[in-house]
Each structure stands twice: as structure tokens, then as C-alpha cells.
A and B are shown apart, each in its own frame.
Chain A
Amino acid sequence: MQISDAIIIGGGLHGLSTAIHLAKAGLNAVVLEKDHPGRHASGVNAGGVRRLGRHLAEVPLSVAAMTVWEHMAEFVGDDCGFSPCGQIKIAETESEMALLAERVGQLEALGFAHERLIDRDTLRQIVPALSPHCLGAVWCPEDGAARPCRTTQAFFRTAVALGVEVRTGLVDNIGQTSGHWRVHAEYETYEAPVLVNCAGAWGDRICHMIGDHAPLEAAAPMLMITEPTEPFISPVLGAVGRKLSFKQFDNGTVMIGGGQRGRAVPERNIAATNLAGMGNGAATVTALFPQLGPLNVVRCWAGIEAMMPDGIPVIGPSAVAECAYHAFGFSGHGFQLSPIVGRLLCEVIMTGSASLPIDAFSITRFGGAPAIGAASGDLLRH
């Protein structure tokens, strides 16, 4: 039997980030990971560090996360390969341009100025290689990209250095005894007053074990990488009307992603790619950059990611159980949010409320029972 202050299920970025913040707050935290830390979405994603285009509920969190990314070494001792190369989302038609203008206006009304509308000429200056039919874009020059694998390593090292125990084991049973959570994983039982579900695409299974309900779909977003070519683009590029996320690395290879999906079989850790997804990704890229037609694709992969029906994550207390918390369901864009969500969850666990608005992410939106007394801080102050 292992006794601690908090059990965190899932060793992805959100589990590790939560562990880091809880450890800094003085709690003894254990992370239970069925594979190895960063094995799933957190380690194989596109590395996009993007505020651009976020759901309005996510904007305050994303903006706060950005300030951590800009000084990442202060948080985890490594800059995680973050480079502020900018993120750009292009419009190809007048109506797409109007959508972008409306969006920027909406953000400005809320007091956010990070998304900038740019015209055709400015766009041409930033991405000269782009097909001339593109009319303009929204640009976040301070956004960028980082290295997922380096990031998960740095989060892992920081957690361990702060005394977090990261254990290998599949959580297959959760119960309660005298006000404590009792969690079983691989020949071992763990007990703690606090339970945190950061199980990514397996988050619904953990919900099921504690009585919560979350309509999660496990999906397999795909990415492709090409052989190296001459440098031709520096920002990460997306498009209003196409599923695209496109980036050239320093070594000249080009990564193509942004919405093509393969087949996910979470119970077998399978994220299979498919031909149509590869074809669609290639067609999108060659429409915008016709000169890339001869460039060879050398590798295609997919990761298992948790998609929620409304495209935003579940963050906050359980709807049914006391001292159980969730942070999962990041719906394809949780990498950038990883330094902030752990902090907010830690605040909720320690004080009962968070310093940024998180109500929109409550699991109760899926029709579970209303949350019972989220204030669990007293229980924990030894």
C-alpha cells in the first residue's frame, strides 16, 4: 500500500504539470502511468504553441499559458525547443476574410489583442511562397512551436526533481475507504485523499470508475513529415477553409497535419493512419504551395487524442465525487495549455477556486449531477 496526498492518473503533460504544481504547493503526489510518460498525445503531437483561433472560453487560459512558454526554462529548466516563429491562419475567399475580421473584433471587445488581421501584401511578405490567391490572414507573431518530446522530458524531470513519484501501472480499479481514494494499478494499491484524472483519451474510463459521465471520443489525428527541402516558410500555417497545420523545421523537413484522422483503438494503444488522410493532407498542401508537389513524404503517424463533443476540455471537480478532479479531453489542442491547466487545477484543489474562469469546462455540462462541495482545501491543509 502506497499512501500519498494526491494520486494523478496519466503521465502526459497535464498529469505531469498538475503533479509539478501540487508538489510545489507542498503535496506528496504520485503519478500513475500505464505506458511511459509522454508516450501518447503529449509526446507525438505537432508541437503547436498557439493562442490563435482558440475557443473563447480557452482564450484567457491560452494567453496565460503563453507567458509561461515565453519563459519555459524558469518552469521546467528547459525552453522545450520553443521558438516564437508565429502562427498564421489564412483566408482564401472574401467570406473567410470577413469571418476573420469578425473574430478579431470579438477578441478586441473582450480586451485581447494577440490576433492581428493582416492584408494580402503583409501576408505575402511573411510567407512569400504562398499561392497568390490567398487574400489575407490572422497572425499571432508571438505564437510558435516547441518540441513535444523535449517538453514531456522536461516536465517529467522537473516533477521527479520535486519529489513526485512516477509509477508505471494501468489503473483498473478505483474505490473509496474512510474518505480516501483507493486506486489499484499493477499489483499495487495507492491511497490518497485527492484523485486527479489526467488520463487523456482514456479519461472517460476513469470517469466511469468514479461515477462521472463524459461523452469522450478517442480519435487519431494524423501527421506527415517530408524529406528536407530549402527553407521557405517560418510561421506555422493554418487555413480558415481547410484542415491544415503546416510547419517547416530547422532541418528543412515539413510537417503536415491539422485535422486528418486515422483510426484509434485506445484499449490496444493503436493509432492507425489511413490513405485518405494522407491524400487529403497532401492535396491541401499542394493547393496552397503548388511548388511542393515533387517533395517526398517519408513518414506518417497518428496519436490518440480525447475529443469532446464541444471541442473544449473537461477541467475541474467531479460532478459526483468529493476530492476528485479532471483535466482531460483537450480535443486536439492541449499541448499549449499544459503549463497552465495544472496550475489552475492545483488552485482548485488547494483553495476551492481558480484564478482564471474555468466554469465552461465543468464536467456538469454533460448532464452529470451537480458538483458537491468543490471546496476541499481544508481536508488538505495539514
Chain B
Amino acid sequence: MDHSGLAALAIIGAGPAGRAARDMAARVGIEEVAVLDDGPDLDALVWLVDGDGTICYSRNGTAHKLTAQYIILAPGTLARPTANPAAHIDHEIPDIQITSALRLEHAWDREQGFWYPRHDESLASQCARIYLAGGVTGRMGEAVAKWQGRRAALTIAIHLGHEVSKHDLPDCPPAEVRPAPPSYVAGLEDAEMVCPCEGISAGDIRRLAARGCGTVNQAKALGRPGMGICQGRRCGLLVGEVLADCLGVDMAQVGYFRQRWPTSPVSLAQLSKFAHEDI
């Protein structure tokens, strides 16, 4: 698939939600739909999304730009990172790297222990052109993901002036209820790494808390967790959890990293192709 650089709808993520959105878009007749996913089939790693509809991605080492009228963000989930990478824990959390860099507002799900971007019933995010679907919303299970993908595509179809009928979309199926995850900070030794990229331990975060540091972004500024090559994917939650635990406050109070573009590394040579772009 090659993109002309313009699309009516771009779908980021080709998991169950993204594929359901694509199928629905095809059914209601939206043309010019681009699906971007970093899996081997599509090989399109998105590293920048702008509220005005610009998307940048890399394919086989080459950077491309696409401008879409509407975007469905369906980047799915990722495995919950832990302090000890060997202790793999079977718990999925929303992949909020892009939604956080977009500065969407996020909410903390206390039960499930993750952040998710807020949206309304039509899956619209706070950005007018951007919709959310699937695991990124924190509503788990394939059935819900597919429904959300269809729903988002239908709303966009209406905005684009397509005819849709209410039979196109049945009611939302119930979300899968997952067991609450274990506590990740109970018994975490001071010496254990919470940010392996920058070599920051749980003890380092606890010392920052003792010095009056009250949010993860302040911790990032003062101690560098989240500034390494993984761009905060591995430590974002853990830094917050250690901080919240130490201060005896809710996660909502310590917050999440303000993530930055590019959300995946991109070379200077590729970036320089976008010099003098007018956005």
C-alpha cells in the first residue's frame, strides 16, 4: 500500500479495533482509508501525530507524511512493564505513548492500574479529528474493541457526509472484566531499577519524593527517569507508583509523563526531509 499523502481517514493500529474500523469504513463507502501499523504486513511505524491530521511514520527506514481528515487511534495495549524484566506479568495496559504526546487528558483506572485517554460515547477524543478505539481506551476484550472500531468509523462516516443506518451498529457488548493486577511496588527493594535506560532505582525515586518531588514530570526533570532510549515506555507507570506509594497519594495526583514526539526514534537524515514544511 502506498499513500498519496492524503486520506479521508487514517487508522493507526491494525489490531481487532483498527481492522473493524477499516471494514466498517469500506462498508459505508469511505474511500481513501490508510491503515498504519508497525507489524510486518504494513510496516508503518507512526512517530508523530498532530491534532491537525498530520501523521508521520517510517517504513523500512524511510519517513513518510500523511494528512488525514480524521484519525482513529487504535494502538492497542502493551504488556505491563515491571521492575524486573524476567518477572513477566500477564497484564495488558493501554499503549498511551501517542495519546500522551498529543496531550489528551488521561484518567487513572484505579482497579486495573493503568492510564487511559478520555473520550465521549462516540469515541471522539478531545481533538476534533481524532477518535479512539480498542485497547488504548482501557475497555478490554476483542468484542468491545471491534465495536469501538466500528462505532468510531460510523461517526466519522456521518461527519464525512455518508449515509449510515442505525442497524449498522448494535449495542456495545459487555467489556471483559479482568482480575485486578498485583501491586507492583509492595516489597520493591531500593536497589531495584525502575528506569533501566537511565539507571534509576526505586531508591532514587524515593529520595526524590523525600526532597519534595510530587509528580512524575517533576521526577523526570530532576532525576531523568523516562528520558532514555525506550522513551518512558518501561518506567512511566512504575515511577508514578513508587512516588504515589511513598507520598501516600493517589496515582491521579502524581500523573503520567508528558511524552514527546517522535514517539519512536527517527534518524536525523529522515527528519531533515521535513525541513520547511509549513506545519
Contact = CB atoms under 8 A, between A and B. Distances in A.
Contact of A292 (B54, B221, B260, B268): B268
Contacts of A279: 271-277
B97 to A, nearest CB: 12
Contact of A286 (B221, B272, B278): B272
Contacts of B103: 270, 272
Contact of B275 (A272, A283, A293): A283
Contacts of A29: none
Size bracket of the B interface: 20 to 34
A67 interface: no
B268 A297 contact: yes
A321 interface: no
A297 B218 contact: no
A253 B229 CA distance: 10
B231 A293 contact: no
A293 B269 contact: yes
Interface string A54-94: 00000000000000000000000000000000000000000
B272 A299 contact: no
A298 B222 contact: no
Contact of A149 (B56, B221, B229, B262): B221
A294 B271 contact: no
Contact of B279 (A227, A275, A283, A296): A275
Given A149-B222, A298-B231, A299-B227, A278 B261 contact: yes
Nearest to A287: B272
Contact of A227 (B50, B56, B229, B277): B229
B134 to A, nearest CB: 26
B53 to A, nearest CB: 12
Interface string A245-272: 0000000000000000000000000101
A71 to B, nearest CB: 24
Contacts, number: 90
A274 B231 contact: no
Size bracket of the A interface: 20 to 34
Contacts of A43: 221
B56 A275 contact: yes
B48 interface: yes
A366 B279 CA distance: 32
B265 interface: yes
B255 to A, nearest CB: 13
B54 A275 contact: yes
B65 to A, nearest CB: 8
Interface string B150-194: 000000000000000000000000000000000000000000000
Contacts of B274: 275-276, 278-279, 282
Interface of A: 36, 38, 43-44, 149, 153, 225-227, 270, 272-276, 278-283, 285-286, 292-301
Interface of B: 48, 50, 54, 56, 65, 103, 218, 221-222, 227, 229, 231, 260-262, 265-269, 271-279
10 contacts: A149-B222, A274-B50, A275-B50, A275-B54, A278-B262, A278-B271, A278-B274, A293-B267, A297-B262, A299-B227
Given A297-B267, A300-B261, 7 more contacts: A270-B103, A273-B261, A279-B271, A293-B268, A294-B267, A295-B267, A298-B229
